[in-house]
Amino acid sequence: MIFKIPNILTLGRLILVPVLVFAYYLPGSLGDWFSFSIFVLASFTDFLDGFFARLLKQQSKLGELLDPIADKIIVVTALVLLVADDQIKGQEVIACIIIICREILISGLREYLAKFKLRMPVSNLAKIKTFFQMFAISILLSGPSGDKLLFNFGSEIGIILLWISAALTLITGYSYLKKGIEHAID
């Protein structure tokens, strides 16, 4: 059934994507705080959908399909907005490229392994990576308003966290890729 709490939360995260884009382009601190809030809400629903799926025993094939898609769409959308607006620029864009490439790689790998009815569960390190990634993007989305709140170091903190998440992305991506290649060779 589609109308299970975890599925509703996941679908809600997908619905938040155009709201995030709209909020990002609102002028001044209104846009900063609204886009920040939308992204934090979306990040929290990512935690909640899995929590409720396990708690209420409402895991579903639909949720298994949509959850990683919703995660990737909201993250990639936020990163593209930040790069397009020069909030992330220069060599910092490399961190975004690493994150986006890993997301594509893992999606393809999961699709390939699904043909063999093999699953690739999310590792604890990947969960930590996701936390740093969401935290970094949230800070960066708060823009100049968040920068002021964090003693004019918000952007720097966000970029440092983005690089940490990019490093964790490489580590977890390598681990997943290695498992996938080992299976393909077998």
Q: Which two tokens stand for residue 79?
A: 């990163």
Superfamily of domain 5-185: CDP-alcohol phosphotransferase transmembrane (TM) domain (1.20.120.1760)
Query: In the Cβ-directed half-sphere of 12, how many Cα atoms lie within 13 Å?
Result: 19
Share of the chain above pLDDT 70, in %: 99
pLDDT at 111: 81
* Greater model confidence, 117 or 49: 49
pLDDT at 40: 97
pLDDT for position 1? 61
Is 175's pLDDT higher than 70? yes
Rounded Cα distance between 14 and 86, Å, is 25
Indicate the pLDDT class of residue 41, thresholds 50, 70 and 90.
Answer: very high
Q: What is the rounded distance in angstroms from the CA atom of residue 26 to the CA atom of residue 44? A: 23
Q: Is the confidence at residue 128, as pLDDT, over 90?
A: yes
Domain spans of the chain, in order of start: 5-185
How much is the average pLDDT of 128-139? 96
Tell me what the pLDDT averaged over the chain comes to: 91
Residues in the chain: 186
180 and 120 Cβ atoms separated by less than 8 Å: yes
